[in-house]
Amino acid sequence: MTALYIGSADPSAQLGQHGADRVILARHDLLAAYSAEAFASTLVEICGRVSPRIVLGAATAMGRDFLPRAAARLRTGLAQDCTEVRIVEGNRLECLRPFTQARRLPV
């Protein structure tokens, strides 16, 4: 598993402790402050270099902001708020999301 960190710090030791075999650090002073455009552009550029099969991101406010932009530029699907992700039938990604059925409220 390869982990990508976008920002200005160096968390490679912590990412390695959480199972990453390889850590890519996209560090620059301009990435110290969050910018959806900068983070999306950085992710798209790294994906162009390493050609990942799957990209997983955190369901944080920042992730919800820049990941859809990156997915659109990469012309790929996006599943957010997943509680489970697995590969089925050898090569198909299945993402499970919690579902809440709509209910009618009394008036």
* pLDDT digit string, tens, across residues 49-104: 999 888 988 889 999 999 999 999 999 989 888 888 888 888 888 888 887 666 67
How close are the terminal C-alpha atoms of the chain, in Å? 52
Q: What is the mean pLDDT of residues 29-39?
A: 91
Tokens of 44: 């798209």
Q: Which helix (H) or strand (E) holds 3?
A: strand 2-7
The pairs formed by 7-10 with CB atoms below 8 angstroms and a separation of 24 or more are 7/31, 7/32, 8/32
Say if CB 82 and CB 96 are below 8 A apart.
yes
Report the pLDDT value the prediction gives residue 102, as an integer from 0 to 100: 64
**pLDDT for position 100:** 65
What domains are defined for the chain? Answer: 2-79 (3.40.50.620)
Token output for 16: 């390695």
pLDDT category of residue 107 using cuts at 50, 70 and 90 = low
How far apart CA 34 and CA 18 sit, in angstroms, is: 24
pLDDT at 89: 87
25, β-bridge pairs: 5
Query: Which has the closest alpha carbon to 40: 3, 61, 78, 69?
Result: 69
Q: What is the pTM of this model?
A: 0.79
Instruction: Report pLDDT digits (tens) over 14-26.
Output: 766 777 788 888 8
Per-residue pLDDT, 45? 95
From the list 72, 97, 71, the residue with the least C-alpha distance to 84 is 97
